[in-house]
Amino acid sequence: MGDVAIQVEHLEKMYKLYDHQRDRLRDALGLTRKKLYREHYALKDVNLTVERGETVGIIGTNGSGKSTLLKIITGVLNPTGGSIDIRGRISALLELGAGFNMEFTGVENVYLNGTMIGFTHAEIDEKLQDILDFADIGDFVYQKVKTYSSGMFVRLAFAVAINIDPEILIVDEALSVGDVFFQNKCYHKFEEFKKNGRTILFVSHDLSSVSKYCDRVMLLDHGKKLGEGPPKTMIDMYKKVLVHQLDTSDPGKNALKNKKGTGEEEKPKRWQDKLILNPAKDSYGNGLAEIVDFCCIDNSGQITNTIIKGDSFTIRVKVAFFAKVSEPIIAVSFKNRMGVEITGSNTLFEKVDTGTPKDGDTLIATFTQRMSLQGGEYLISLGCTGYREGEFTVYHRLYDIFNINVISSKDTVGYYDMGMDTTVEWVK
């Protein structure tokens, strides 16, 4: 136990859910022996050991218990059961600025937050200039916080939390605050913590950051621990959880759901049933053809919305035809989050002959390539077009129908990684 920074054993957090407020009052006053509530476990029998100097990630869907676990570790919430042993001074990046007094100035809030964490006035004096330099909000530090813009507020809150120099840093989705330049500064500070051998507990939906920074990852789902191990292994499990294809009855088995225990993999009626789709899809066309199915497949053959940068992947599009169509063009395009088209291709550009399908025919187009896009989220659009009687015709288009999350441990400048081989040499 000498090298353990955080020890969590059989941790549970249960909430009582009442159908009526009067039931809550009657239960609190002990006016009935009848159980008036339903039990909801945000965490159930969770165990975790974090050693000194480790960076441990926690991933899971919304509602899996990630933030609840961090709030219990930092003392914001009390557990219903289990035990926690913390060995070291903690600074937490949870709800930024939660402890700020809006009537105090920025500098006064620095001292207030530092004191709450456990630092003396003299210790905060030593850190004050580093905090102010990191926040970089000028003379506003001497104004009341209630006059700040949201950007200035989060900059100061982050600067206080990360420059206090804790032994254990707890981070919950807090690295992407402020503008791109401040975000860059935040990540540099995070990397500095890691290089200095500090203990970090990191919760994020950004799987690229989890893959890049974490030594080990724990996967939570509906309050239960599904697994723990190397980032890539846990991310692969998480991908199956996202599309409801992980057998959670036995956390030790990373297996697909099967039919009535026969061991036969259950095959969905459509490929797209294994994807997370856009509920607000934009679909249109003249109806002579229809994109009836589609999917994204990683290099292990699994249908998924998540691709590791550098891996080979495939997008497959199935089109049904309801009339004779000459040389249809099947297309795939990628957009960034802002809706800017980044790249794409189609069967015409790739010089693939699609022939002349007729009513009742079905065509499957397969696009395979290496993923060279930088880490991040991309929106995928699909289309079937062509020329009919000399006029460009849209038979069917699906705009932004699903997303691809690219996980990267190394990003370069721009949208694409050029895959450069880089060397240096010493000149005497």
Residue 299 buriedness (CB in 10 A; 0-12 / 13-18 / 19+) = middle
Q: What is the pLDDT of residues 179-218, one digit of tens each?
A: 667 777 777 887 888 888 889 998 887 787 888 889 999 9
Would you say residue 352 has pLDDT above 80?
yes
Q: pLDDT per residue over 23-46, tens digit each?
A: 888 888 877 778 888 888 999 999
Instruction: Kindly tell me if the per-residue pLDDT of 389 is higher than 70.
Output: yes
Instruction: Enter the tokens of residue 39.
Output: 């039990």
Tokens 């004050």 correspond to: 128
Can you tell me the mean pLDDT for 272-301?
92
Q: Which residue is listed with tokens 């009390």?
A: 78
Give pLDDT, residue 265: 44
Domains of the chain as residue ranges with CATH = 1-88+167-267 (3.40.50.300), 100-163 (no CATH), 271-407 (2.70.50.60)
> Cβ distance 360 to 321 under 8 Å?
yes
- pLDDT tier, 14 (very low <50, low <70, confident <90, very high otherwise): very high
* Interval 224-235 mean pLDDT: 91
pLDDT of 48 over the 60 cut: yes
Write phi, then psi, for 6 (nearest 5 degrees). -135, 125
Residue 162 has pLDDT above 90, yes or no: no
The C-alpha atoms of residue 208 and residue 264 are separated, in whole angstroms, by 33
Distance CA 163, CA 157 (A): 10
**Rounded-to-integer distance, Cα 183 and Cα 206, Å:** 14
pLDDT digits (tens, 9 = 90+) for 245-267: 665 444 333 433 444 444 444 45
Cβ pair 317, 345 in contact under 8 A:
no
pLDDT beyond 90 at 57: yes
- pLDDT tens string 95-127: 655 668 889 999 998 998 888 777 888 988 998
CA distances, 223 to each of 18, 27, 34, 92, 293 (Å): 20, 25, 27, 21, 34
The model's confidence at residue 280, banded by pLDDT at 50, 70 and 90, is confident
Total residues belonging to the chain: 428
Amino acid at 177: V
pLDDT at position 102, please? 87
0.85 exceeded by pTM:
no
Highest mean pLDDT among 205-209, 217-221, 231-235, 307-311: 217-221
If you average pLDDT over every residue of the chain, what do you get? 85
d(CA 342, CA 339): 9
